[in-house]
A and B are shown apart, each in its own frame.
Chain A
Amino acid sequence: MTTTVLGAALSSPADLIALKKKALQALESGCTRLVVCGGTGCTSNGSRQVLDALNAELAARGVPLVADLLEEHPDGAVRAGFGGCSGFCEVGPIVRVFPANFFYVRVRPEDAAAIVERTVLNGEPVEHLLFRDEATGERFATRDEIPFYREQAGVVLADCGVIEPEDIRQYIAHEGYRALASCLFGMTPEDVVREVTDAGLRGRGGGGFPTGRKWELTRRSEGSKKYIICNADEGDPGAFMDRSILEGNPHAVLEGMAIAGYAVGADEGYIYCRAEYPLAVQRLRVAIRQAEEARLLGERILGSTFDFRIHIKEGAGAFVCGEETALISSIEGRRGMPSPKPPFPAQSGLFGMPTVVNNVETLANVPRIILNGAGWFRSMGVPSSPGTKVFALTGDVVNTGLIEVPMGATLKDVVFKIGGGIRNGRKFKTVQIGGPSGGCLTEEHLDLPLDYDSLRSVGAMVGSGGLVVMDDSTCMVEVARFFMQFTQSESCGKCVLCREGTRRMLEILEKITSGRGTVDDVGLLEEVAIAVRDGSLCGLGKTAPNPVLSTLRYFRDEYLAHVVDGVCPAGACQAFRHYSIDPEKCKGCTLCAKKCPVGAISGELKQPHTIDPQTCVRCGVCLDVCRLGAVVA
């Protein structure tokens, strides 16, 4: 992988434009490019070996390799390198071929020979590596034809998987840092704030607070120093949009931070990134170093009078550190616990100075807004929530992965068009949106536009953009319990209602799912949930009861079925299951009796066995091991 950087610093916007032209030409017309996904998902699936195999095969076949894009290279030369995440992690490792735009899925090192032979040398796609629609059997040669991508929009993820994130010149070729140059040499800080305000960009980390307003408040605050913080403490289970942006296009975030710095008068920034994202941290380090060498960060950026430095602070993975005051506390070296607002970070943030805290995705939108204008941004999405949103689509859908859609796309589009519908022919039941702080959406919300205000009106939230689709085998009490367990163990423990309230809600939910709940418990659960929502100190606490409140709102019947009728309607809660053995089918093989951990199964060899319901702990092992289907749940 290249870490080659520019020979000389860029000392004016003209230098940047000259480099852009050169880099773009090299990127688009110079050679065949094989971009292997270097995101966490694909590297875990062996994409590094794929890249190595490709390079080895190319060398073995005598194909000239391009070590450095900007160097002279012969015709027919090939560049193979790591790109960022294309979002469709489920079918990784992904290899993309440019300029042909082929999209290869589930590539193994053994496929290198075919790729070189057919694609590199003959310009044809490798048929068996193309994405195949399981339902129709149809194969698609290019990314944009694939149904998963057809309904998507590309703003912040557009360059992920296309450029190599560890080569700043490829970002520059794709208009990188041109927005920063426009700000420094053509706009006043007020202009920049106005453009972002006019664009209607809202915080993508969950709250949806207008970014322009945040910047304006910080710009107006008095302070001998100001800071920009990029909140990369992505903690929702299953959400990885920020990680993918940082891994796939780190410079977009750095540029967004520098623009924010210019807009509010800050000369220093911190990226607070969780230490569990080592690849993102590594890519950021490389990106910062290259940007500093190019004088796109550091002192006198592009020869202007604007200075901006960026530091990385690795967090230890506490969910609550995504809350801005806790995050600030953690950067300052203190325990990550939220503090009451006011004062807001815009007034008194990091080290007591006015501070902007923006999420990764928010910042990645900024250069595009400056480049293309507020009007362009507003042309996407809905009036109250312009632009696009990246969601992590997961759960019981056919296609899972990162998706970017215009704000206001309907749930139906996301689940059925992009997601390809529910797996295994089951029925759609609900979507948990916004992670553990979010809420659930049901069939009645399929036409609901996914934007900040619509979601809030039905008791859910965009949150950081986790979208977990669940089919009809899901128990909603169990879903609430699952998320409550997460929030309880991630509560910082500072305020009484969150610390004690989440513990008690979890306790009651466990009681209900284990079959010991009463009607009074459901009432108490709701009472605690409302108090925690109304009375907690920070956003984590205020939203912690959302899974409980929204499941109670839409699935109260399921709660009552557990506590009144003694059944789990979805059949998911083990405690409500009754296992028995069909004497017609049982051949007395004794396998279930041997595997039963509590010795609840008895019977003679070759005679039908029986389960003692008093002893049975409903673990389900007998059901799993019986080869004859004799165990009935």
Chain B
Amino acid sequence: MTPTVIIDGMPVPVNGHRNLLELIRSSGVELPTFCYCSDLSVYGACRMCVVEVEGRGLQTACSTPPEDGMVVRTTTEATQRIRKMALELLLANHQGQCQTCDRNMRCRLQALADRLGVRHVRFEAPADRETQLDEGVALVRDPAKCILCGDCVRMCSEVQGIGVLDFAGRGSNVRVTPAFGRSIDEVECVYCGQCAAICPTGAITVRSAIDEVWKAIHDPARTVVVQIAPAVRAALAQHYGIAGGEHALGKTVTALRRIGFDRVFDTSFAADLTTVEEGAEFLRRRASGGPFPMFTSCCPAWVKYAEQFQPDLLGQLSTCRSPQQMFGALARKHLPADMGIRPEDLYVVSVMPCSAKKFEAARPEFAQDGRPDVDAVLTTQELIRMIDQAGLKPAELPAGSLDLPFGFKTGAGILFGASGGVAEAVLRLLAGGKGRVEFREVRGLNGLKEAELELDGRPVRVGVVSGLGNARALLEEIRAGLKTFDLVEVMACPGGCVGGAGQPWPADTGTRRERAEMLYDCDAVQPLHNAADNPFVSECLERIGGSDGHAAHNLLHTGYRPRRRIDGQVIELDEKPVAARVPVSVCIGTNCYLRGSYDTLKRLMEAARGEGLEEAFDFQATFCFENCKASPNVRVGEEIHGGVTPEAADEFFRSQLLPLADGRSCAAARE
């Protein structure tokens, strides 16, 4: 006998479903929920999936494991009453303005309120709601629209392993916020945007660049070119119901031309270039003995993550710019001359499946004389919206062709859009050969995939990881010596760019899988499959003096630096710090504070006063030095000293600070 649950009178076999919610949905009842996501832990907070279980009363379906013989009713007087009340309460506390909301018509709160027939809200609008918009470079938080379902919090900590957002406050003051109430740009957010992708309302959205792109298009002096990333075509095909990613891309090209873009290119071309450069870099490292593994650097969220959390690995990141930025640099270098326009009139747009690309384009190293290589980054969603705004229907348009030279790609370049694609492109390059060599081991939606290739009698061990939580786990294994790789591809979003936060909703596993498969189909129909065979890539490299040249170094490569996770804040203890004083900063962040740093600070200041040296030092209380393991931390000049407990403060003063005070202030003390 297979275990069976009676749902609304109908026997439904359990079939391995983990909870009643999934089982009920499999039986054809679209049970509502805000906080249940199959990829995240069960949270049980929204109360929308409440059902009546015989003998147990009202239970949330998401948190109830199915048991044989259970009798469940999904729509009863009580479940309807509770769902409607929960919705009415949420709506009362939700800053409406649906019509102007980024999520209008795509909002789960709006949809459920409509579906369940909540027709009036009997409560007064609260006056105390946090209404301050937090507009970051890539993400925008609007706390007034937050329904506190916690999806973003769990996504960021459970899937991405970062934990940028969490709850703070109690009762009706509860809010979701970055640490210390800071802005999203001041904290460790890597802009993967998975929080925005999972948010049921418009509380977290990707910052829109639509208006600035329209402005450039309408400016007659500007020549506007656009590149379209590999993963975008799959989402367009799904959205417009067009068979085949390349076909959808072709129709979109026509739409873009009609909107007024002067040239339409394919980021897959730049991806081929990246493959060639990265392959060359890998071989150079192999010849010189490392360091290994070499990590890919196409994903800007991963790069920022590494800069913040894995600074010791930065030397192992490929120095190759991402395809978006290679394209940007090359466009700036060649297009003005090729098109006969003034360099400053060239306006470069990218269409990306990604929110972090907006941050990447704004990185100072990708700008020349203050002008970014890429002027504006649109997400797939924004592109669709612009097409809608122009009233165009791509499905009904003829397919257009991309412009040369940056419109020509091999199938390898298209693979970049799926997790494992960069690795497969590089493997094809290293393996050589003209045919379509497939590395199926690195395909699919598993968090970690591995492949091996024999090259010159030695193996090339390749690891592919997507989702930063998986990346972190893999790095720990590598550090512990449990895994050894030569090349590791990291993509921040589960499934790679096809699941990026710039893609249309929903962002579920099935959608991601379908998009990835579509990209592999695109690869299959391309005439070339190895980036090394792309004639325009070779031509491009020749034009800039070859892969090893100075120009290639400047245009196609970049560098990384450790990055603080939280912007420091200094509390000045003296009114007028004097430049000649030795700066001494004591961390009073939570960890250091708990280990007595406040007393450390007091003792150091007392010790200085005791020696008559209070003029010699500039004591400051600061926030985290991100050296919490060694707390309490004291920074003297640029050097951070750990373990300065209150008990150790006097000795620290004598051994570390007193020598710095030397003659000048002793003299001052004598006076």
Listed in ascending order, the chain A residues whose CB lies under 8 Å from chain B are 318, 335, 337, 339-342, 488-497, 499-504, 507, 524, 527-528, 530-531, 534-537
Contact = CB atoms under 8 A, between A and B. Distances in A.
Nearest to A537: B44
B503 interface: no
A497 B83 CA distance: 10
- Pick the most buried of A318, A497, A501: most chain B CB atoms within 10 A of its CB: A497
A24 to B, nearest CB: 43
A489 B170 contact: yes
A401 to B, nearest CB: 31
B335 interface: no
B45 interface: yes
6 cross-chain pairs, A with B, having the tightest CB-CB distances, nearest first: A493-B174, A340-B63, A340-B44, A500-B89, A531-B85, A535-B82
Contact of B171 (A497, A503, A524): A503
B52 to A, nearest CB: 10
Given A493-B169, A501-B89, A504-B89, 6 more contacts: A339-B43, A340-B42, A342-B65, A495-B47, A503-B93, A504-B92
Nearest to B157: A334
B150 A496 contact: no
Contact of B45 (A341, A488, A494): A494
B37 interface: no
B90 interface: yes
B170 A531 contact: no
Given A339-B44, A507-B124, A490 B170 contact: yes
Interface string B70-85: 0000000010011001
Interface in B99-156: 122-124, 126, 147-148, 150
B64 interface: yes
Contacts of B122: 524
B588 interface: no
A523 to B, nearest CB: 10
B65 A493 contact: no
B60 A499 contact: no
A500 B92 contact: yes
13 contacts: A341-B63, A492-B174, A493-B169, A494-B45, A494-B150, A496-B45, A502-B171, A503-B171, A504-B89, A530-B81, A531-B81, A535-B47, A537-B60
A497 B44 contact: no
Contacts of B126: 503
Contacts of B242: none
B86 interface: yes
Interface in B42-64: 42-47, 50, 58, 60, 62-64
B86 A496 contact: yes
- Pick the most buried of B47, B78, B150: most chain A CB atoms within 10 A of its CB: B47
Contact of A495 (B46, B64, B166, B173): B46
Contact of B93 (A491, A495, A500, A528): A500
B655 interface: no
B18 to A, nearest CB: 12
Q: Chain A's interface: helix, strand, loop or mixed, by majority?
A: helix
Contacts of B58: 534-535
A527 B78 CA distance: 12
A524 B85 CA distance: 11
Contacts of A528: 85, 89
Contacts of A492: 170, 174
A318 B170 contact: yes
Contacts of B64: 342
B82 A531 contact: yes
A492 B89 CA distance: 16
A502 B78 CA distance: 19
A499 B172 contact: yes
B167 interface: yes
Given A527-B85, A534-B78, A535-B50, A495 B171 contact: no
A496 B43 CA distance: 12
Contacts of B62: 340
A537 to B, nearest CB: 6
Nearest to A491: B171
A447 B368 CA distance: 87
B86 A497 contact: yes
A586 to B, nearest CB: 41
A337 B45 CA distance: 10
B171 A493 contact: yes
Nearest to B48: A496
A537 B171 contact: no
B24 to A, nearest CB: 16
A499 to B, nearest CB: 6
Contact of A534 (B44, B46, B82): B82
Contacts of B167: 335, 337, 493-494
A358 to B, nearest CB: 24
- Pick the most buried of B92, B123, B150: most chain A CB atoms within 10 A of its CB: B123
Nearest to B34: A496
B148 A499 contact: yes
A503 B148 CA distance: 15
B176 to A, nearest CB: 10
Contacts of A503: 93, 126, 171-172
A497 B47 contact: yes
B101 to A, nearest CB: 20
Contacts of A341: 63
A535 B270 CA distance: 54
Contacts of B44: 339-340, 495, 537
Contacts of B46: 495-496
Nearest to A319: B170
B339 to A, nearest CB: 56
Contacts of A536: 47
Contacts of B85: 497, 501, 527-528, 531, 535
A502 B93 CA distance: 13
Contacts of B42: 339-340
Given A340-B42, A535-B47, A535-B82, A496 B65 contact: no
A527 B81 CA distance: 9
B92 A496 contact: no
Contacts of B166: 335
Nearest to B172: A503
Nearest to A339: B44
A488 B123 CA distance: 16
A65 to B, nearest CB: 36
A531 B86 contact: yes
A342 B170 contact: no
Contacts of A340: 42-44, 60, 62-63
A490 B173 CA distance: 10
Contacts of B82: 497, 531, 534-535
A592 to B, nearest CB: 34
A340 B47 CA distance: 11
Nearest to B174: A493
Given A507-B123, A531-B82, A497 B89 contact: yes
B65 A499 contact: no
A341 to B, nearest CB: 8
Contacts of A497: 47, 82, 85-86, 89
A441 to B, nearest CB: 25
Contacts of B43: 339-340, 494
A491 B45 contact: no
B43 to A, nearest CB: 8
A507 B171 CA distance: 13
Contacts of A493: 148, 167, 169-174
A496 B89 CA distance: 8
B174 A537 contact: no
Given A493-B148, A496-B90, A507-B123, A488 B171 contact: yes
Nearest to B64: A342
A475 B85 CA distance: 28
Nearest to A489: B171
Nearest to A531: B85
A504 B150 CA distance: 21
A307 to B, nearest CB: 29
Nearest to B87: A496
A300 to B, nearest CB: 33
